[in-house]
Structure 1
Amino acid sequence: MTRIAEISVHRTSLPLVRPFVTARRRATTLDTVLVSVTDSDGVTGWGEAPTSWRVTGESAASVDAVVRGPLGDAVLGLDPLDTDAASERIIDAVVGNAAARSAVESAVVDLAARLSGATLARFLGAAPETTRISTDLTLAAGPVESLLADARAGAAFPALKIKVGLDADADRDAVIAVRREIGSDVRLRVDANQGWTASDAIRVIRAWEEAGVDLEFVEQPTPARDLAALAFVTSAVSTPILADESVWTTSDLHDIVERRAADAVNIKLAKCGGPVAALDLARAARAAGMGIIVGSMLESTVGVGTSAAVAAALDADAVHDLDAGAWVAASPVDGGIRYDGGSIVLSTGAGLGIRGLAAPLADGSAA
């Protein structure tokens, strides 16, 4: 019987095609950590831990340490096909470190899918005919002129998500301008990344409602830990409110449901700890009557590929929030998903379909 024999860490910094700007940060590079898990027969699975002190609270150094330390100890020697046992041991190994845990769990599940001969999406429960999923396009926070140019460039996408939260009044006017520019056929979403007070959020969202902007949802308008503010906004507007930074665990979700603080949740693997945890969180959200989409942090096609497989298993017809890999100038791996306009094309190979590190990373990047 094959066993998990090796776990490796691959730090990488990749340029973005343009600056990624939100209410929380501005990035021009993707600084991330890939994790590979190899069994005793030499078969490898892949995962990713996006790093940002202000978003995930983790760094490349912290991910490296915890993966090569307690998380590696937790999975080495395990049967890679026993993903439930691996997930339980990963959860028990450390407190916090959600992105690192996600990378290791993702790599183990990818390895199990490869050994089973199934695509990762199929292994997680997607229908056999699912070959692609839809994603929105994120418009980075900025002047209205740049938002309009980005909106025009995103015509192939079924939905646009505008990053706001830097200036409530400017946000109000910019979103109205984008809706007028793109017309009524494209779904429009807004993400404030915790940037508003409750009063500003209510004032701006009501202005959009009165202007007929017709938003699909407003994501995380208020600070993540202030559930009272989030619930106040949700109760005061007609536009659906999507919780993101407020929900990392099923316990967080239960708090949201109890307070009626949001209508839906954005599920991200780097918050909840991996694909198994994401599926559990989605089931709990649906049981509570909440809507779901699958999103990602700013990460490469490795992490987005795992998230896309989860999305395919949960709702292949929804428009998810997985354009992050398209922001990166080049993939760090050979194989995996690819973008085709507003769609993510899933690999037909076993697991994620990753054949190894891309050439520039393959020489000397493993730790």
Structure 2
Amino acid sequence: MVAPVVSLETEVVRVPLHTPFVTALRRTEHAETLVLRLTDADGVTGWGEAPQVWRVTGDSLAGSQACLEGPLRDVLLGATGLTAAVGAVQRAVVGNAAARSAADVALHDLAARQAGLTLAAHLAAYAGAEPDRGEVLTDMTLSAGTADVLAEAARARVADGFGTLKLKVGADPAGDAARVRSVREAVGPGVVLRLDANQGWDAHQAVRILDEIRDLGVELVEQPVPRRDLLGLAHVRTHAREVGVPLLADESVFDLDDLVEVVRHRAADLVNVKLAKCGGLTPALELIRVARHHDLGVVIGCMMESHLGVGAAAALAQATGLAGAGHVHDLDAGWWVTGSPYVGGVSYDRDRIVLPDAPGLGITGPAG
């Protein structure tokens, strides 16, 4: 960053979904997010967003807006140095991960635009790495539902070009194995299946279900037990390794302290890094570095947010060598909305996230 930040604007964006999104934690028919715009003295604008995720992060639109318009405004206006500014953002408030993420992403987007670099190229340079030119691939979520509904949705999503499906389970543990079997029978052996219980099982249920699905070729199981139950998660992992199914920690890892505890308990094989959960691109880079140091795999995910947040997460994947063959992330949120609320930015081509060849996130303004 060179020219100082002179303007901060926030706007609530509510975009309808074409299909209701249902998990063990919630049901929603809209993506609700708070968009942040930072503009420097030369008229260059950086974009960020703070999605509302009451049941995961606890962040609301009103709370994020108050945070960005209050204490974070004080550290953002006048900012000229990226490293100092992103550090100040992370220190300015406790919690408020979505607001911190919006500020952090907007600062990185602004710096990338000032340098004339894509966000991925900027992040790679910031982290001292070479950007990955590989494609960023995403799975597709199947909302929680009956076995028949899931099987029908699975066939439709495969026809749409998605080779990796993530089944939302956990709302009815007794019937989850039958749901997985129904989907496997519907799509055949060539489609990759992931399960996400969203904390909906206890450790004993998880072990039982792993036994029941051991012949169904499940690639991984995400967050089977409640967030704080690391002993239970570690117990499930021991059994999961016996049946050959890795565990992915999501809600159990918000920040670096959480990741250290997961490592200490040997509770997971992979970690799901989400910007609105950890506080932005800067802490996400650190989480990825530490996870790799401890031989944990990394999936980059998203909340129910817009193309803006998906674009930042996809750029993070390219910047950290997590693109291309062997890497399928969890970045389908933009697919669910009826249309992008922005001009420019990322788009979808079947299961591929198409990043723009333009400075920063490539967003030039609101749609319409």
The TM-score range, normalised by the shorter chain, is: over 0.9
Output the CA distance in 1 between the equivalents of 2:240 and 2:314.
31
Contact 1:140 1:163 in 2 (8 A): yes
**Corresponding residue number in structure 1 for 2:149:** 146
**Corresponding residue number in structure 2 for 1:94:** 93
**Corresponding residue number in structure 2 for 1:364:** none
Is residue 316 from structure 1 mapped to residue 323 from structure 2 by the alignment? yes
Match runs of 1:217-296 below 5 Å: 217-238=220-241, 239-296=245-302
* 1:147-202 deviation per Cα after TM superposition (whole angstroms, max 9, x unaligned): 11111111111210000001112111010111121111121100000001110011
* 1:97-123 deviation per Cα after TM superposition (whole angstroms, max 9, x unaligned): 001100010001001001111110111
Contact 1:101 1:273 in 2 (8 A): yes
**Corresponding residue number in structure 2 for 1:54:** 55
Partner SS state of residue 70, structure 2: helix
**Corresponding residue number in structure 2 for 1:117:** 116
What's the offset of the Cα at 1:128?
Answer: 5.6
Output the CA distance in 2 between the equivalents of 1:277 and 1:343.
25
Change (3 A) 1:131 1:358: farther
* 1:55-95 deviation per Cα after TM superposition (whole angstroms, max 9, x unaligned): 2211111011000111111111011xx32111110011100
Output the CA distance in 1 between the equivalents of 2:38 and 2:216.
47
Identity across matched positions, percent? 49
**Corresponding residue number in structure 2 for 1:362:** none
Contact 1:134 1:158 in 2 (8 A): no
Output the CA distance in 1 between the equivalents of 2:131 and 2:101.
25
Partner SS state of residue 199, structure 1: helix
**Corresponding residue number in structure 1 for 2:216:** 213
The residue type paired with residue 301 of structure 1 is H
**Corresponding residue number in structure 1 for 2:348:** 339
The residue type paired with residue 33 of structure 2 is T
Match runs of 1:14-33 below 5 Å: 14-33=15-34
Contact 2:8 2:38 in 1 (8 A): yes
**Corresponding residue number in structure 2 for 1:40:** 41
Moved more, 125-134 or 311-320: 125-134
Output the CA distance in 1 between the equivalents of 2:62 and 2:196.
29
Match runs of 1:149-188 below 5 Å: 149-155=152-158, 156-188=161-193
The residue type paired with residue 296 of structure 2 is M
Partner SS state of residue 218, structure 2: coil
Unaligned runs of 5+ in 2: none
Output the CA distance in 1 between the equivalents of 2:176 and 2:318.
32
**Corresponding residue number in structure 2 for 1:365:** none
Contact 2:131 2:318 in 1 (8 A): no
What's the offset of the Cα at 1:127?
Answer: 5.2
**Corresponding residue number in structure 1 for 2:313:** 307
Corresponding pairs, count: 355
What's the offset of the Cα at 1:131?
Answer: 6.5
Output the CA distance in 1 between the equivalents of 2:152 and 2:360.
37
Output the CA distance in 1 between the equivalents of 2:138 and 2:240.
26
Contact 1:48 1:103 in 2 (8 A): yes
Output the CA distance in 2 between the equivalents of 1:160 and 1:133.
16
Unaligned runs of 5+ in 1: 360-367
Partner SS state of residue 72, structure 1: helix
Supply the RMSD in Å over aligned alpha carbons: 1.2
The residue type paired with residue 367 of structure 2 is A
* TM-score normalized by the length of structure 1: 0.95
